[in-house]
Amino acid sequence: MDFFRRLASLRLTHPTLSGIWYAFLWMMIGALVLSLLLQSGSLEEHNLTWPIYIVHAAALLFGGLTSGKRAGHKGWYQGSLTGLFYGILILCISLLALDSSPGLSDLTLLFPAIAIGALGGMFGVNLHKKK
């Protein structure tokens, strides 16, 4: 029983890992909302490009916010690392799913991911409780 109690209280202490975890959590919530909008018919697939970018930007912002808050200092650094790793993971997943090779346009999407993550990290540091 002690094993299950310890497993339930698992907490990611590294700021970048917790930021990536929360970014993927928010991305999954956004994907669920978008799929419900697609199912209801109020959104069509050819109009889905900008909502997907907005979901990823919000996920990166919340991921950077979490990593900056957990770090307590150098939020821009932790947030940009979160954005970089999130962008690389999403890029790898999309390239494997579409069975395509990476191009320059795919790699240029990493720069906004790093910038949005860094912005979230800067705001997240200010949410950290000082002791």
Report the C-alpha dihedral over residues 61, 63, 68, 74, rounded to 10 degrees. -80
What pLDDT does residue 90 have? 92
Q: Which residue in this structure is represented by tokens 């990493």? A: 110
What pLDDT does residue 13 have? 76
Mean pLDDT in the chain?
87
Structure letter (DSSP) for residue 88: H
Q: Which pTM value belongs to this model? A: 0.83
For 25-67, write each residue's pLDDT tens digit.
999 999 999 999 999 887 788 888 899 999 999 999 999 999 9
Q: How far apart are CA 96 and CA 32, in angstroms?
A: 21
In 3-state terms the chain splits into helix, strand, coil percentages (rounded to 5) of 80, 0, 20
What pLDDT does residue 15 have? 85
Rounded to 5°, the CA angle 64-66-72 comes to 100
